[in-house]
Amino acid sequence: MESLFADLIQIFAATVRLSVPLIFTALAGLYAERSGIFDIGLEGKMLFSAFSAASVATVTGSPWLGLFAAILTGVLLSLVHGFASITQRGNQIISGVAINFIASGLTILLGNAWFGQGGRTPQLANSARFTEITLPFAAEIAPIPFLGPLYSGLISGQNILVYLAFLAVPFTWWVLYRTRFGLRVRAVGENPGAVDTAGISVTWLRYRALICCGILAGFAGTYLSVAQSASFIREMSAGKGYIALAALVFAKWKPLNVLLTCLLFGFLDAASIRLQGTIIPGMGEVPVQLIQALPYILTVVLLAGFIGKAIPPKAGGVPYVKER
Amino acid sequence: MNAPTAASTPAIELVGIDKRFGPVHANKNINLSVAKGSIHGIIGENGAGKSTLMSILYGFYHADSGQILVDGKEIRITDSQTAIQAGIGMVHQHFMLVENFSVLENVMLGVEGGPLLKRGVAAVRAELGRIEREYGLEVDPDALIEDLPVGKQQRVEILKALYRGAEVLILDEPTGVLTPAEADHLFRMLAQLKAQGKTVILITHKLREIMAITDTVSVMRRGEMVATRKTSETTMAELAELMVGRRVLLRVEKDEAKPGPVILSVENLTVKDARGVTMVDNVSFQVRAGEIVGIAGVAGNGQSELLEAIAGIRKPASGRILLNGEPVERLDPAKLRKKGLAHVPEDRHHMGLVLAFEEYENAILGYQDDPKYLKGPFLDIDAIRKDAVARIEDYDIRPADPRLKTANFSGGNQQKIVLAREIERDPACLLVGQPTRGVDIGAIEFIHKRLVALRDQGKAILLVSVELDEIRSLSDRILVMFAGTIVGEPAPHAGEQEIGLMMAGIGREAAE
Ligand SMILES: Nc1ncnc2c1ncn2[C@@H]1O[C@H](COP(=O)(O)OP(=O)(O)O)[C@@H](O)[C@H]1O
Ligand SMILES: [Mg+2]
């Protein structure tokens, strides 16, 4: 019993760690898509931010400066996306895919040129990383059954970005539903004409939403290279941007749902790692690939209309053009 | 007109407004003066440039040149914010509402009263209550727009403008979506606004409304302001002539119908929409050869779904559809066409045409399998273009260029393209939805004549239209739809009021 519980705590801890980049990225996508700009480029923003964070942390020795650089990178890439899709009224999918390609290529190129380790950045010292924070009384509570492992194994001992990710969810909810900016963002994703005729600039509003998107993507990237690992590795985002996008759809573009779907997808990931090589009697090895594919399968099932209906923001993906 | 003295400074003055959309010259050097505290009508055919002109005044479009004076002072209206601050409010032809927002959220958008919503919500709620009581504009502030009927949605648009303190209220074709009773209510409200000294600009293409409510009327034609008259000193006939530039028939001339055998028979048809809501509820009727059956009703009462179900676009939930006695409710549109059922859809932009195609491509859309357009497995482009040119002549489609992109034709000419395509296949039965929506008067006359001619050839025609005038002047039999059912069949010469009451579901135990 005790050991099963300890096992579970371990899986949950892994779930939390694996969910964090998804949460940041899905929330990033939420700001963009709620404002009517589809963002396939989340993957690229996360990757490039991870690279910037690791590079700057390597050079300066400060994780905070790394975070700052990552945010800057995320915002700049968002502005590129905004220029292409808002100002130039280009195709948002193509612009996003282009950002992914640029990120994938440039990070390796620059990494090689600067650090000469085949696209990696040098191993970061712990002082240049976001490391685990032990919450007060963790040691004292640890021996208490159930509560102890829960508190000291799961709640305590995470790095600061984990706590920030979980705070970002209610914060985003608050922004979206309780502030003027949020009201306008939700409106512009549904009917930009309503926003325009209310005397609000559609262009500027969408740019601001994309800036929010870039900031959160910066957090996601930083988490990958400066908190979860200790260096940037080529292609280290490994499709998480797409999974986050799937989580966003699965969450029906709602912040609190985003938390749940990201945890679910994180859990599937944790379980697949945990079950790697496990033999189930009579069935053979657990098909890990299947578990890894589950987020995508679930999303497709959702989109096919089997689990309620996911209605995207109505004006999503369409440039706002007044004069034909 | 009268020189602006200190006492009679016009509320709005437009001087030399000019606007082009690419090749389209939508407004040509327009001058307009609107007296304070008056109801000023602007009338003109579809495409005359009325909406463009008003949208320029509201800051939605930018004029290429010209000046705008509000209360005698020139202001540069760069965006809607400037217009709102100058006291101008506008109810757009296509509502500018966020459908999944509540009424309250829609009203407060842009005037939230601070970075946080909390304080604004309370203020808007209180103020809305006051405006609602004053003008009799009840709407539930917490209702979602998508759950409201169009008439109520329009009230929300009016509330938005009043909440922003509009002194000049522009309404762009407000009555298109209303029942006659709702339109009356709107007009009473406009009179009330006028009594309070506010100025109203009313755009419409319905002459009767202009005569009933306006003080002054300006007529636009092909981007130009052709005349301004005192309403009391003009007539409908004069205005109609000014609108089109020649005399027009306001009635459709036709003989008595000579109905033949039943061609289309609908039996106990029930249709549900994607959400599972019943849109057509156990409807039965027949259309005979040589008659036009018109379905009247306010938009959204199931007419669209009925038409789509008969055309094979929407699968009925239950019931039967017989074409020449043969059940066809399971057939797709292509098979139905082969059986002689042609369809002019309500929404020509989304269903009738591919706007990005050239004219000749649209002219065969749906009939591309016809052997006469094929050369082996390939399309015979020459044959198709020759056919297209013949129809362009026959239907007077302008410009007469089969290679022009369809989006560049005016609404009336686009509709003629669809109509020509469907009529020229010699169908046994023709379904027509909103044949003259967004179509100019000249083309309306033409389209109506063609439909009557088709009837006289012994074809069965089912007409769905939200224009009561159109239904009354074309139909040999009228069916009125309300809330998914046919609530009555008024006599062919029934008065507008009788039909209007049926359209509102009155005379039937129907709660709102
Ligand atoms: N946003 C737009 N882009 C391009 N052309 C437009 C646009 N709006 C209107 N037009 C064109 O300008 C002309 C005038 O249109 P409009 O002002 O809507 O006429 P009305 O309101 O009198 O029916 C039409 O030919 C129309 O096709
Ligand atoms: Mg118009």
Give the confidence band of B324 by pLDDT, cuts at 50, 70, 90: very high
Q: Considering just the CA atoms, what is the radius of gyration of chain A in Å?
A: 20
Question: Residue A4 half-sphere exposure, CB side, CA atoms within 13 Å?
Answer: 1
- Give yes or no for residue B374 having a pLDDT over 50: yes
Band (B509; pLDDT cuts 50, 70, 90): very low
CB contact under 8 Å between A178 and B117, yes or no, is yes
A89 at interface of B, judged by CB pairs closer than 8 A: no
Does the pLDDT value for residue A81 go beyond 90?
yes
Q: How far is B21 from chain A (nearest CA, A)?
A: 7
What's the average model confidence in pLDDT over B447-451?
Answer: 94
The nearest alpha carbon in chain A to B113 belongs to: A180
Report the separation in Å between the CA atom of B298 and the middle of ligand 2, taken as the mean of its atom positions: 20
B245 — alpha (psi -120 to 50), left (phi > 0) or beta?
left
Pick the closest to residue A52 from A2, A118, A107, A11 (CA basis): A107
Chain B residues whose beta carbon lies within 8 Å of the beta carbon of residue A180: 112, 114-117, 120
**Confidence at residue B182, expressed as pLDDT on a 0 to 100 scale:** 85
**For residues B494 and B145, which has the higher predicted lDDT (pLDDT)?**
B145
Atom of ligand 1 nearest to the CA of B46: 23
Closest residue on chain B to A205 (Cα):
B110
Cα B93 to middle of ligand 2, angstroms: 6
Best of B52, B64, B98 to mutate (most A CBs within 10 Å, chain A): B98
Q: Which band of pLDDT confidence, cut at 50, 70 and 90, is reported for residue B5?
A: very low
Choose the mutation target among A197, A203, A254, A311 for the interface with B, i.e. most B CBs under 10 Å: A197
| Smallest CA separation from ligand 1 atom 11, residue | B26
Spatial contact of B467 and B479, defined as CB atoms under 8 Å apart: no
pLDDT in tens, A173-211: 999 999 999 999 999 999 999 999 999 999 999 999 999
* Most confidently modeled range among A77-86, A244-253, B399-408: A77-86
Instruction: Round to the nearest angstrom and report the end-to-end CA distance of chain A.
Output: 68
Q: Say whether B404 sits in a helix, a strand or coil.
A: coil
Q: Using a CB-CB distance cutoff of 8 angstroms, which residues of chain A are in contact with residue B80?
A: 196-199
Please check whether residue B506 touches A, CB under 8 A. no
Query: How many other CB atoms are found less than 10 A from the CB of residue A141?
Result: 17
The ipTM is 0.90
Look up the CATH number of domain A2-127+137-303.
Answer: 1.10.3470
DSSP E strand stretches across B92-176: 168-172
Whether A91 shows a pLDDT value over 90: the answer reads yes
Q: Is the minimum CB–CB distance between A314 and chain B shorter than 8 Å?
A: yes
Least reliable range by pLDDT among A196-210, B245-259, B389-403: B245-259
What the block records as the tokens of B264 is 């289309």
Residue A279's H or E segment, with its range, is strand A279-280
Average pLDDT (B408-423) is 91
CA atoms within 13 A on the CB side of B275: 5
pLDDT digits (tens, 9 = 90+) for B82-104: 999 999 999 998 899 999 999 99
> What's the B243 CA to ligand 2 centre distance in angstroms?
14
Per residue in A245-284, pLDDT (tens digit) is: 999 998 999 999 999 999 999 998 888 888 777 777 777 7
A324 lines ligand 1 (CB under 6 A): yes
- pLDDT at position B8 over 90: no
The answer to whether residue B508 scores a pLDDT higher than 60 is no
CA distance A23 to A169: 8
- Asked if B80 lies within 8 A of A197 by C-beta distance, the reply is yes
What is the model's pTM? 0.80
Query: Domains of chain B (ranges plus CATH)?
Result: 12-244 (3.40.50.300), 262-358+405-511 (3.40.50.300)
Categorize the per-residue pLDDT at B510 as very low, low, confident or very high, splitting at 50, 70 and 90. Answer: very low
With the C-alpha atoms ordered B189, B195, B196, B199, is the resulting torsion angle positive or negative? Answer: positive
Q: Where are the domains of chain A?
A: 2-127+137-303
Residue A309 forms contact with B (CB below 8 Å) = no
Mark residue B388 as left, alpha or beta (left: phi above 0; alpha: psi -120 to 50; beta: remaining).
alpha
Query: Quick one: CA torsion of A200, A202, A208, A213, rounded to 10 degrees?
Result: 140
Q: What is the mean pLDDT of residues A54-78?
A: 97
Token pair 């063609």 is found at: B450
**CB of B21 less than 8 A from some CB of A:** yes
Spell out which residues of chain B touch residue A201, defining contact as CB-CB under 8 Å. 79
Q: What is the mean pLDDT of chain B?
A: 90
* Candidate ranges A163-172, A236-245, B15-24; pick with highest mean pLDDT: A163-172
- Which range is least confidently modeled, B104-118, B154-168, B230-244? B230-244
Residue B4 has pLDDT above 60, yes or no: no
Look at A180 and B120 and tell me if their CB atoms are within 8 Å: yes
What residues of chain A, 159 to 218, have a C-beta less than 8 Å from chain B?
177-184, 186-187, 190-191, 193-201
**pLDDT for the residue B247:** 53
Q: Indicate which atom in ligand 1 lies nearest the CA of residue B53.
A: 17
Q: Is A187's CB within 8 Å of B98's CB?
A: yes
* Spacing, Cα B33 to ligand 1 middle (Å): 22
Distance CA B42, CA B247 (A): 19
Residue B22 has pLDDT above 80, yes or no: no
